[in-house]
Structure 1
Amino acid sequence: MNTTYSNDAISSWTSDQLLNLGVPEQAATYINLLVLITATALVVYLVDFLARKIFVGTAHKFAAKSSTRLVEYMARNRVVVYLARIAPLVVVVQAIPIVFADFPTWVPALNKFTDIYLILLWMWVARAVLRTCKDFLKTTETFKEKPVDSFLQVITIFLYFIAGLLIFSTLTGKDAWTFITAMGAASAILMLIFKDTIMGFVASIQVSSNDMVRIGDWVTMDKYGADGAVTEINLTTVKVQNFDKTITTIPTYYLISDSFKNWRGMQASGGRRIKRSVYIKISSIRYLSAEEITKLSKIQLLKSYLEERQNEISRFNKENEIDKSLLINGRSLTNVGVFRKYIDAYIKQHPGTHKDMIMMVRQLEPTTTGMPIELYLFANSIVWVEYEGIMADIFDHLLAAVKYFDLEVFEMPAADDVRSLHFNMTGTPGVRYPMAETMQN
C-alpha cells in the first residue's frame, strides 16, 4: 500500500500543482505526462551512461589482466554494451505504470513493446556472444582452419527462429506452439525457401567432418574459374581469392557434388611435382660408336656409368662371340639411352630437386611429335615463383645438352625451315610463291 501510494503521489504531483494554479484538468494531465516522460528519459540516459561506464570499464580491466583474449573479443563484439542496456530497460519497465497512471489503457501495449525489446536485446547478446566465440575459436589451433562460420550461422538462424516465436507469442497472447503448428502446414514451402541453406548446412558438416577444405587451402575448381586460397567458408558459400586477386564465390554444396583439386597435400609435403617431357626426333636416334662413347665419357656425370656399362657390354659380346662389324649385332649403347641416363644423374645432383621423393626419367610411347622422355620428380620448394624457376633451370640445361648426344628435339617446321629447304633445292635464297607470280603477270 505504501508503494502504491508513493507511486500515485509521484505520478500526480505535477498535475496537482497545476490544478492548484488554476490550469484546466485535461491540460494539467497532458503536461504532467510530458514532464514525467522527460524526467524518465533523463533518468534512463543517466542509468545507461553509468551502466556502460561500469560494464565496459570493468571488461577492459579484466582484458588487461587476463591471459586470454576472450574478454577483449567480448568488448569488441559489443557483448558488454548490450548487457549494459538491460539496466535502463528495467528503469523503463518500472516507470511505465507511474508515467502513464492517467492513461491505464496504454500500459499493456507499452509493456508488450518492452517485452519485445527485451527479447531482441537477448537476441543481440546471444549473437554477439556467438561472434566472440567465432573470433576466439579462430585463434586456436584446433578450430583455426575449420568452417566455424557455417555452424555459427546455423545457430544464429535457430536463435532468430526462437526470437520470432517469442515475439509472435507476445504480440498475439497465444502460445508459441500455436505458431509452430501453423508452420507445420507450410513446412513444404519453407523447405523450398531454405533449400540452399539446408543443403549448405549439410555440405558444411560433410566438408568439416571429412576435412576436405580448410581456410588457407589452395584449391582449383576449373568449372567455376577458382584457382587460389580459400579465405572464408560459411553456410552457403566458399570464397576463394585467386592468384590474380579476384574473388570466386562457390556454393558450399558444390564442393561435394562436383570435383575440385586441393593442393594441401603438396604444400604439407614440402615438394611440388614436375612432370614434363622432352620430345626427341625419332630419326636422330642411333647407336653409338666406340669413339663417340669415349667422347661422351668426358662428361663428368656419365664417366663412371659409361665405363661400367661399356665393360659389361664388351664382356657380353665377347662371351657370345658377337660380330660387332655392325653395331646392330649384340648389345650396344644408343645416344637416347645415354641421354636418359644423363638426365637421371643430372636431376639427382640438382640443388632444386627433392631428394626424399620419387625421381624418375622414363621413355613414353612414340607419337607423331617424336619420342617423349618424361621427367617425373619433385621440386624442393612449393613457392610458385621458386618452383617455376627450378623447372625452367632443369629444362634449359637439358634442351641445350641434347646436341652433345647428337639428338634433335622435335618441333614443327617454321618459316626458316621452309626457306632453308628451298635454298638447298634451288640454290636461290628466299621462298617463291608461284600463285602470287601468276597473279602479278
Structure 2
Amino acid sequence: MDRFKHFIFDYLVSQGISENTSKYLNMLGLLLVLLIIISLVDFIIRKLIRTTFTKLAVKSKTNFDDLLITNKVPRNVAHIIPLLIALEFAPMVFSDFPNSDVVIEKILKVFSIVLTLWIVRSLLNTLKDYFKTLPRLKDKPIDSYIQVFMIFAWIGGVLSAIAIITNIPFIKFLTGMGAISAVVILVFKDTILGFVASIQVSINDMVRIGDWITFEKYGADGDVIEINLATVKVQNFDKTITTIPTYALISDSFKNWRGMTNSDGRRIKRALYIKQEGVKYLTDSDVEKLKNIQLITAYLETRQQDIKSYNASNNINKDFLINGRNLTNIGVFRKYIDSYLKHHSAINKDMMIMARQLAPTTQGIPMEIYAFSSDKRWENYEYIMSDIFDHLIASLPYFDLEIYELPTGSSFNSSLQMS
C-alpha cells in the first residue's frame, strides 16, 4: 500500500521533478483516482439498488416500496458505501499533508451526518405519505409529528457537526448548550407551542384533515387541507387559503362542523319576521276558509270542535272574540309550518322538527323554523332551505299575515298619493 500511494511520487522524482512538486502531484493523482472510484461505485450501487427496489415494487401489493423510491430512499442509501470508501482511503491520499488530512476527515464526517439526515428525512417522508393512505390515519396531523422528529434530528445533526469541527466531545458540547437553552427556547417558541398544540389536537381529536371549520378571528371558513407543526391550512369555500397558527386551535375558540357532517341531518334554523299588526283572532268564517288548506284541515276541525265545546260548557260570551278560547291566524300559521315540514320530503323526520314563536322585536314577531335536512351537501341544503322559505313567504297572505320590512322610498310615495 505504501508503494502504491507513493508510486506517482517515485516516478516523478525519477524524472527529475522536485520532491515538493512531486508530493503535490502525487496527492492530486491519488485524489483523482479516489474520486473516479467513488463515482463509479456510487453509480453502480445506485443502479443496482434502484433496479432491485423497482422490481420489488412491481411485485409487491403494498405501495410502501413505491413511496420509498419516490422519496429517494434507495438513492440516499446508495451513497453510504462510497462515503465509507472515502473515509477509508482519504488518509492515504493526504498522508504527506497531515493538516489537510485532518480537515478532509472532518469534512467527510460532517458529510456523513448530513447523509444520515437525508436518509432519515427520506424515510420519514415515506412514512408520512404511507400513513396518509391508511383510512384511520389519513385525517391525523402526521405532518406535525414528522416535522418534530426532523427538528430534533437536525438539532442533533448540527450539534454533532459543531462538536466534530471544534474537536469537543459531543457530551461536553451538549452540556455546554444548557447555558444557552433559554435562547434556544425563545428562538423555537412557535415550534414548541405548535408541537404541544399538535399533540393536544390529535389526542383530543379536535381537528382532522377534511373537517369543515369556521374560525372567525382568522377569517377561515372551509375545509382543513393540512395540519403541520406550525400552521393549519384551511381552504375556504371561495378557494382562498387561510393559514392559522396550530396553537391557535388550543388558545382560541373555533367551530368544527364535523358533528353535523357525521349526523343524520343538517340544521335549518331561520326565522320569518311577521308584522304584529296583522295578528288577530279567527272568526268561524275565517276558520272555514282556512279549512281549504289540506295540511291543516283535520287540525282545524278537531281544534274548532274542542274550542266550541269548552266555550259552551263554560257559558263563554262569544259576542267578543277575546272571551274564552280562540284560534289566531299566527297560531294556525305556526301549525301549518309544523305540518308542512313534517310532510316535506327533504326533511329528516327522525330529528327534531319545530316551528316556534320567539319574543317580539321591533322588527316584528320572529317565527322560527327549526328542523334538519336529510341532504347535508351545502348546495342541496341551501336549495332545500330556500324552497321551504319560498313556500312559507308565499303562503303568508292566506293567513292575513305580512312579512316585516323597513319602508322604502316607494312606500312613502304611496302614502303621499293616498293622502
For the criterion TM > 0.5, the same-fold answer is yes
- d(CA) in 2 for partners of 1:189, 1:293: 81
Aligned mate of 1:215, from 209, 215, 220:
209
Aligned-residue offset at 1:390: 0.9
Shift of 1:19: 3.1
Of all paired residues, the percent bearing the same amino acid is 50
Distance apart, 1:16 and its partner CA: 2.5
Q: Aligned residue for 2:411?
A: 417
- Of 326, 329, 334 in structure 1, the residue corresponding to residue 328 of structure 2 is 334
Q: Aligned residue for 1:107?
A: 101
Asked if 1:299 is matched to 2:293, the reply is yes
- Letter matched to residue 300 of structure 1: Q
**Any idea what the Cα deviations from partners look like across 1:233-279, whole Å, max 9, x if unmatched?**
11111111111111111111111111111111111114221111111
| Partner of residue 252, structure 1 | 246
Pairing partner for 2:73 from 79, 85, 88: 79
* AA partner of residue 100 (structure 1): F
Residue range with higher mean Cα deviation, 243-252 or 23-32: 23-32
Following TM superposition, by how much is the alpha carbon of 1:56 offset from its aligned partner in structure 2, in angstroms?
1.0
Residue 156 of structure 1 corresponds to: 150
Q: Which has the larger radius of gyration?
A: 1
Partner Cα distance (2:339, 2:257) in 1: 29
Corresponding residue number in structure 2 for 1:46: 40
> After superposition, what is the alpha-carbon deviation per residue over 1:85-115, rounded to whole angstroms, capped at 9, x for unaligned?
0111122122213322333442222222111
Find the residue that maps to 2:17 and give its secondary structure: coil
Mapped to 2, the partners of 1:413 and 1:112 lie a distance apart of 84
After TM superposition, the score normalised by the length of structure 2 is 0.96
> 1:402-413 alignment to 2 at 5 Å?
402-413=396-407
Q: Which moved more, 1:209-218 or 1:23-32?
A: 23-32
Any conservation in 2 of the 1:10–1:98 contact (CA below 8 Å)?
no
Question: Which moves more between the two structures, 408-417 or 277-286?
Answer: 408-417
Q: Give the match for residue 378 of structure 1.
A: 372
In the TM superposition, residue 27 of structure 1 has moved relative to its aligned partner by 3.1
Q: The residue matched to 1:211 in structure 2 has which SS? A: coil
1:221 positional shift: 0.9
Larger mean Cα displacement after TM superposition, 334-343 or 270-279: 270-279
SS in structure 2 of the partner of residue 240 of structure 1: strand
Match of 1:25 among 19, 28, 34: 19
The letter for the 2-side match of 1:276 is R
Kept in 2, the 8 Å contact 1:266–1:272? The answer is yes
Which amino acid in 1 is paired with 2:26? N
Which whole-Å deviations, capped at 9, do the CAs of 1:154-210 have from their partners, x for residues lacking one? 111111122123212222222112222221111222222221111111111111111
The farther-off stretch of 17-26 and 32-41 is 17-26
Taking the aligned partners of 1:189 and 1:197, their CA distance within structure 2 comes to: 14
Segments of structure 1 that go 5 or more residues without pairing to the other structure are: 1-6, 426-441
- Cα distance in 1 between the residues matched to 2:415 and 2:168: 97
Equivalents in 2 of 1:276, 1:102: separation in Å? Answer: 88
Note if 1:175 corresponds to 2:176. no
The secondary structure found in structure 2 opposite 1:186 is: helix
Q: Counterpart of 1:394 in structure 2: which amino acid?
A: I
- Aligned with residue 280 of structure 1, among 256, 274, 282: 274
Q: Give the distance between the partners of 1:217 and 1:244, measured in 2 at CA.
A: 16
Equivalent-residue separation in structure 1 for 2:19 and 2:110 (angstroms)? 34
Q: Measure how far apart 1:421 and its partner are.
A: 1.3
Q: Which of these residues, 345, 348, 351, is aligned with residue 351 of structure 1?
A: 345
Matches of 2:362 and 2:16, distance apart in 1: 114
CA distance in 2, matches of 1:418, 1:104: 101
What letter is aligned with 1:269? S
SS for the counterpart of 1:16 is helix
State how far apart, in whole Å, the 2-side matches of 1:105 and 1:227 are.
Answer: 62
In structure 2, C-alpha distance between the alignment counterparts of 1:140 and 1:243, rounded to whole Å: 27
Equivalences for residues 230-249 of structure 1 within 5 A: 230-249=224-243
Aligned residues of 1:8 and 1:101 also touching (Cα < 8 A): no
Q: Which moved more, 1:325-334 or 1:125-134?
A: 325-334
Give, in angstroms, the shift of residue 281 of structure 1.
1.1
SS in 1 for 2:214: strand
Consecutive unaligned residues of structure 2, counting only runs of 5 or more, are: none
Give distance in 1, aligned partners of 2:18 and 2:4. 19
Query: Which residue in the other structure is 2:118 paired with?
Result: 124
Q: Structure 1 residues 308 and 205, CA, compared in 2 at 3 Å: closer, same or farther? A: same
Distance 1:19 1:132 in 2: 55
Residue 203 (structure 1) aligned to one of 197, 219, 228: 197
1:389, distance to aligned residue in structure 2 (A)? 0.9
Aligned length: 419
| C-alpha distance in structure 1 between counterparts of 2:97 and 2:180, whole Å | 41
Aligned: 1:227 with 2:221: yes
Q: Secondary structure at the match of 1:68?
A: coil
Secondary structure of the residue aligned to 1:316 is helix
> 1:340-367 CA distances to partner (integer Å, 9 max, x unpaired)?
1111111111122122211110111111
Q: 1:32 deviation in Å?
A: 2.5
AA in 2 matched with 1:141: P
